[in-house]
Chain A
């Protein structure tokens, strides 16, 4: 089973950056798995591993200046506020925003989308309005809109997919209408890897007077994103897929929209004044940051942004493109394997597939013996899987530490599983 891994390109061969050096920054790879196998981590689209710099930053926060945020006029209180504002500035620059006040800290993409669906949707949507999604959305960018549609009488429509798993923009006019108030689209499908032309969709939406939200959970860690170049209105992403801590994420929104919206969560820090019978709201971003933030995690998110900038998103993209093309090429050799997604040039580093006669759950179990960690199931996209025609897929997804050798081990492990399942 090692045959092809030994002939694979050595760790570190990449046009973009030295993968071996990058991998060395991730302590998770320092020790073998409990069964003695080295970790072959191919589930970065679910959550990325963390470099030393991020882990150290979170530790530094707890060890040197931890206090609650935006509350203490003592030395640590001031220090923690400065750290958080530093992260806010880094996030602003990462996504090409211009105002720090437009960067809201949330618990992650799911909360960010729920925030817009509730704080904007429930206030501004009316019966007869339409929310336009795509057929490849994650449940986090689908279920909140269904709920707000039920509550307001609006309806949800979907941009269809082509037979090669791209958005069918030739049919955009069928679903984008004068009643469309908001288009919410993934910047990169978590199953197909499809990267839609956001600028084109945003321009079409603009003509109809609709707002545009981009779910950047998968795209922000892999593709340079500039909210003003794209001409969008909201962007959401999670730190944990960007090599940062879990439990913290971002909502960027245009100031005038955020100011017009109602608060989503109410409580401490988000108020200006509270009276017995009503309250007034704090200025941005506090208005949407009720309660105690994930403080140390938000601080360490800044280190994650630094880490990604240190490698450079163009270089990350080159690395991703190489791995994705290589994965398609190697997986094509597996008998009965079908990849669900467009050609490598049109997608991110996500490869979902099914193998005739092999259940994804069995495959995941058996390749785990070889140290290979992949995701299986519907990946929070049940409606999409009804279009794929399979109840579940296996997904391999890549990060900055992923090597061609990892993909070789995956392919060998699949062959091992086929033999075990008597499908070879």
Chain B
């Protein structure tokens, strides 16, 4: 399965449905996490840390010029399951415009993937922390553009 990773949320949902149970889906999340591009070591700073996670999570963004500009996200966690969740967030958000990010109904995606049901409240809080960080970067980017 590792040969073709999903690049869109509908593809990811299709794969999750095919896997069927949470154990297989969780294993798949771990696999996805291993394919997340390496995070630059120099960026593992306190300022880039996302709080609210039990594990360490670092997250940075770059804006790729264009009309509208696209926001590229890089992130990393020392928890492999969280790294898998980062992979999901990258599929949902990375390379999108600020407006597209703000328009994404991430709760609906988590719920469709069954993550709300399977993740502990600590994991859900951590995930919410990452979503807040990404959305605030998008909001800031829109405000700067206007």
Contact = CB atoms under 8 A, between A and B. Distances in A.
A103 B105 CA distance: 56
Contact of B54 (A361, A369, A420): A361
Interface string A410-422: 0000000000111
Contacts of A142: none
Contact of A359 (B26, B27, B80, B120): B80
Interface residues of A, number: 11
Given A361-B55, A377-B54, A391-B56, A421 B80 contact: yes
Contacts of A361: 54-55, 79, 81-82, 122-123
Contact of A422 (B34, B55, B78, B123): B34
B30 interface: yes
Contacts of A369: 23
B56 A365 contact: no
B79 A362 contact: yes
B30 A421 contact: yes
A102 B67 CA distance: 76
Interface in B40-96: 54-56, 77-82
Nearest to B34: A422
Contacts, number: 31
Select the residue from B78, B82, B123 with max chain A CB neighbours within 10 A. B78
A188 interface: no
B27 A392 contact: no
A422 B56 CA distance: 19
Contacts of B55: 359, 361
A362 B80 contact: yes
Interface string A245-287: 0000000000000000000000000000000000000000000
Contacts of A421: 30, 80
A362 B29 CA distance: 12
Contacts of A362: 79-81
Interface size class of chain B, counting residues whose CB lies under 8 Å from the partner chain: 10 to 19
Contacts of B77: 359
Chain B at the A interface: mostly helix, strand, loop or mixed? helix
Chain A at the B interface: mostly helix, strand, loop or mixed? loop
A365 B34 contact: no
Given A377-B54, A391-B56, A359 B23 contact: no
Nearest to A359: B79
Contact of A420 (B27, B56, B78, B122): B27
Contacts of B34: 422
Interface in B86-133: 120, 122-123
A420 B79 contact: no
A359 B55 CA distance: 7
Contacts of A420: 27, 30
Interface string A123-167: 000000000000000000000000000000000000000000000
B81 A392 contact: no
Select the residue from A362, A392, A421, A422 with max chain B CB neighbours within 10 A. A362
A392 B26 contact: no
B35 to A, nearest CB: 12
Nearest to A392: B54
A391 B122 CA distance: 15
A56 B41 CA distance: 58
Interface string A199-241: 0000000000000000000000000000000000000000000
A361 B82 CA distance: 9
Nearest to B31: A422
A361 B30 CA distance: 13
Contacts of B80: 359, 362, 421-422
B131 to A, nearest CB: 18
A365 B80 CA distance: 11
B128 to A, nearest CB: 16
Select the residue from A359, A361, A369 with max chain B CB neighbours within 10 A. A361
A19 B24 CA distance: 36
B81 A365 contact: yes
Nearest to B126: A361
Nearest to A357: B78
Interface of A: 359, 361-362, 365, 369, 377, 391-392, 420-422
Interface of B: 23, 26-27, 30, 34, 54-56, 77-82, 120, 122-123
Given A359-B82, A377-B54, 9 more contacts: A359-B55, A359-B77, A359-B79, A361-B54, A361-B82, A362-B80, A362-B81, A391-B56, A421-B30
Closest CB pairs A-B (n = 7)? A359-B79, A362-B81, A421-B80, A362-B79, A359-B55, A362-B80, A361-B54
